[in-house]
């Protein structure tokens, strides 16, 4: 990693020394320079958090708003704090150790635990990857393009970006994909909700005594904090070359990315709560139904705009999922890795990405695929995986020998521990609810 100049350092250098052609640059205000530096540093935290707002996430948040209006907004504030804590630990470990999470698990806990984590991640990522390509097909189907055409085309585009592009190019495209999420805040504002009710729901929890409420509550937490997000953040921080001298900036990036992503999620709930819920359409089963939430903004073009948002979200996650799986497998077995690597440099890394894209594409174009059953199955696998992964993150980030002065502090360790316990309990309960445990 020594000798590698980070993107942020190079950006700062250009700001201070002038244009790339050597001509002097006019003076920049301190505020402008800081703003440009922050923009140039956007990356892993923003990408990972927004990848969580994928096709399944949008469906979940839309279902929450349609069925319960604004009643679950309060828990989004709580889960945002938890997401920030978990993402920060992963980013900090990447910056301090220069290693991905799977590699640290192998080194600190042995091959068996590493293989267990890797197998679980691979199974979960295959399921989620399939759901993202299903989301791509559903989005473009609203524009009249059949999945048999749209999904393979999108798959080729994603593959070329990941295999033929550089990490910097891929990261910038990932960041640009987050622009599509602005459709939901605009839609929520133009839907003219009762902002007093919105504010009241945020600060005063309204808990329903029903199995459906419990399921959506847990599903919302599960789709907000998912295992692949932490795995991607840590590996991406390592590949980006972020060191401890840039840790504060990376923390700010992870925090702001988490807040932005969860604000988007809240606006999806508000948009659907102010439209579908008020009109008595409490069940979301098709993309067309969810598109109605955008009618205050786009009118007759609601489905087109919804398709754009769903397409951007699905494409982002469809690119992140194969990369995350490739990082994990490469780190577990010690293979070369990196988006900037070519096929002959990192054959296993490229092969994993290719295999997941192919599987996702083939399954997504099968006529009559049981989408709901698929998404439920993916939630079950993620529910089983998340507690294990969070415990590893918590223990590794607290390890004095591994992290030194950058280990979790006492107060942060308590907050992180409570986050791990709470999210693990929710994930286990989701697993029990999904399989119909008799005691619920």
Classify residue 145 as left (phi > 0), alpha (psi -120 to 50) or beta: beta
Q: What is the pLDDT of residue 3?
A: 38
19-28, 94-103, 170-179, 370-379: range with lowest mean pLDDT: 19-28
Mean pLDDT of 187-197: 86
For 376-394, give the DSSP string.
HHHHHHHHHHHHHHHHHHH
Mean pLDDT of 405-413: 86
State percent of the chain over pLDDT 90. 18
Q: What is the pLDDT of residue 39?
A: 47
CA dist list (Å): 203 to 18, 70, 265, 406, 415: 49, 11, 17, 34, 21
Instruction: Check residues 162 and 97 and name the one with the higher pLDDT.
Output: 97
Instruction: Check residues 272 and 14 and name the one with the higher pLDDT.
Output: 272
Mean pLDDT of 383-405: 85
Residue 19 has pLDDT above 50, yes or no: no
Residue 46 lies in a domain: no
Residue 2 has pLDDT above 60, yes or no: no
Domain count, the chain: 1
Dist. CA 365–CA 277, nearest whole Å: 32
59-68, 284-293, 385-394: range with lowest mean pLDDT: 284-293
With bands split at pLDDT 50, 70 and 90, how would you rate the model's confidence at 300?
low
Residue 26 lies in a domain: no
Dist. CA 2–CA 216, nearest whole Å: 47
CA dist list (Å): 167 to 44, 52, 343, 361, 437: 11, 20, 14, 23, 45
Q: What is the pLDDT of residue 17?
A: 42
Residue 127 lies in a domain: yes
Mean pLDDT of 158-164: 86
Residue 34 lies in a domain: no
pLDDT per position as a tens digit, 324-380: 888 888 888 888 888 777 788 889 999 999 999 999 999 888 887 666 566 656 666
Domain of residue 242 covers 55-369+409-434
pLDDT per position as a tens digit, 225-268: 877 788 888 888 888 888 888 888 888 888 888 898 899 899 98
Residue 70 has pLDDT above 90, yes or no: yes
Residue 390 lies in a domain: no
Residue 8 has pLDDT above 50, yes or no: no
Q: What is the pLDDT of residue 31?
A: 52
CATH classification at residue 213: 1.20.1740
**pTM, entire model:** 0.80
Residue 180 lies in a domain: yes
Q: List the structure tokens of 185.
A: 């805040």
53: DSSP letter: S
For 229-298, give the DSSP string.
HHHHHHHHHHHHT--GGGHHHHHHHHHHHHHHHHHHHHHHHHHHIIIIITTT-----SHHHHHGGGHHHH
Q: What is the pLDDT of residue 439?
A: 43
407: DSSP letter: S
Yes or no: say if 71 and 208 are a contact pair by the CB < 8 Å rule. Answer: yes
Instruction: Check residues 313 and 266 and name the one with the higher pLDDT.
Output: 266
Residue 43 lies in a domain: no
Q: What is the pLDDT of residue 342?
A: 78
Q: Which of 172, 181, 161, 178 is nearest to 323 (CA)?
A: 161
Instruction: Check residues 121 and 26 and name the one with the higher pLDDT.
Output: 121
Residue 1 has pLDDT above 70, yes or no: no
Instruction: Check residues 197 and 377 and name the one with the higher pLDDT.
Output: 197
Q: Quick one: three-class SS letters along 207-238?
A: CCCCHHHHHHHHHHHHHHCCHHHHHHHHHHHH
Residue 315 has pLDDT above 60, yes or no: yes
Mean pLDDT of 175-184: 77
Query: What's the mean pLDDT when you consider all of the chain?
Result: 78
Mean pLDDT of 123-135: 82
Residue 270 has pLDDT above 60, yes or no: yes
Q: What is the pLDDT of residue 140?
A: 85
Q: What is the pLDDT of residue 266?
A: 93
Residue 76 lies in a domain: yes
Q: What is the pLDDT of residue 30?
A: 55
CA dist list (Å): 192 to 69, 197, 259, 272, 410: 14, 12, 23, 11, 44
State percent of the chain over pLDDT 70. 78
Return the SS3 of 96: helix
Residue 157 has pLDDT above 80, yes or no: yes
């Amino acid at each position: 990693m020594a000798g590698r100049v980070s993107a942020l350092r190079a950006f700062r250098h250009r700001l201070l020394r002038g244009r790339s052609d050597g001509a002097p640059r006019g003076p920049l205000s301190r505020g402008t320079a800081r703003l440009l530096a922050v923009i140039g540093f956007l990356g892993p935290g923003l990408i990972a958090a927004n990848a969580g707002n994928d096709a399944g996430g949008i469906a979940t948040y839309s279902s929450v708003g349609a069925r319960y209006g604004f009643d679950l907004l309060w828990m989004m504030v709580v889960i945002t704090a938890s997401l920030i804590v978990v993402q920060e630990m992963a980013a900090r470990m990447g910056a301090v150790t220069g290693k991905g999470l799977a590699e640290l698990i192998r080194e600190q806990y042995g091959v068996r635990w590493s293989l267990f984590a890797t197998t679980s991640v691979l199974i979960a990522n295959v399921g989620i990857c399939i759901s993202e390509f299903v989301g791509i097909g559903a989005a473009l189907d609203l524009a009249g393009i059949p999945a048999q055409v749209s999904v393979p085309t999108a798959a080729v585009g994603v593959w070329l970006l990941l295999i033929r592009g550089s990490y910097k190019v891929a990261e910038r495209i990932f960041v640009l994909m987050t622009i599509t999420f602005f459709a939901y805040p605009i839609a929520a504002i133009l839907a003219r909700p009762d902002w007093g009710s919105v504010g009241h729901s945020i600060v005063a929890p309204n808990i329903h005594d029903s199995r459906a409420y419990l399921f959506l509550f847990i599903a919302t937490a599960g789709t907000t904090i998912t295992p692949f997000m932490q795995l991607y953040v840590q590996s991406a921080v390592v590949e980006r070359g972020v060191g401890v001298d840039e840790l504060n900036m990376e923390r700010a990036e992870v925090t702001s990315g988490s807040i932005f992503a969860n604000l988007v999620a809240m606006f999806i709930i508000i948009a659907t709560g102010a439209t579908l819920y008020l009109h008595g359409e409490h069940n979301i089963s098709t993309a067309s139904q969810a598109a109605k939430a955008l009618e205050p903004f786009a009118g007759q073009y609601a489905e087109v705009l919804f398709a754009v948002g769903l397409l951007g979200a699905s494409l982002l996650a469809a690119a992140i999922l194969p990369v995350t799986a490739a990082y994990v497998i490469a780190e577990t077995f010690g293979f070369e890795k990196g988006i900037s690597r070519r096929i002959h440099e990192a054959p296993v890394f490229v092969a994993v990405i290719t295999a997941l894209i192919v599987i996702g594409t083939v399954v997504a174009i099968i006529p009559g695929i049981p989408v709901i059953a698929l998404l439920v199955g993916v939630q079950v696998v993620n529910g089983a995986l998340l507690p294990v992964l969070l415990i590893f993150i918590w223990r590794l980030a607290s390890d004095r020998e591994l992290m030194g002065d950058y280990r979790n502090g006492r107060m942060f360790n308590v907050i992180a521990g409570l986050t791990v316990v709470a999210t693990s309990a929710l994930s286990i309960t989701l697993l029990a609810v999904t399989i119909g445990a008799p005691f619920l």
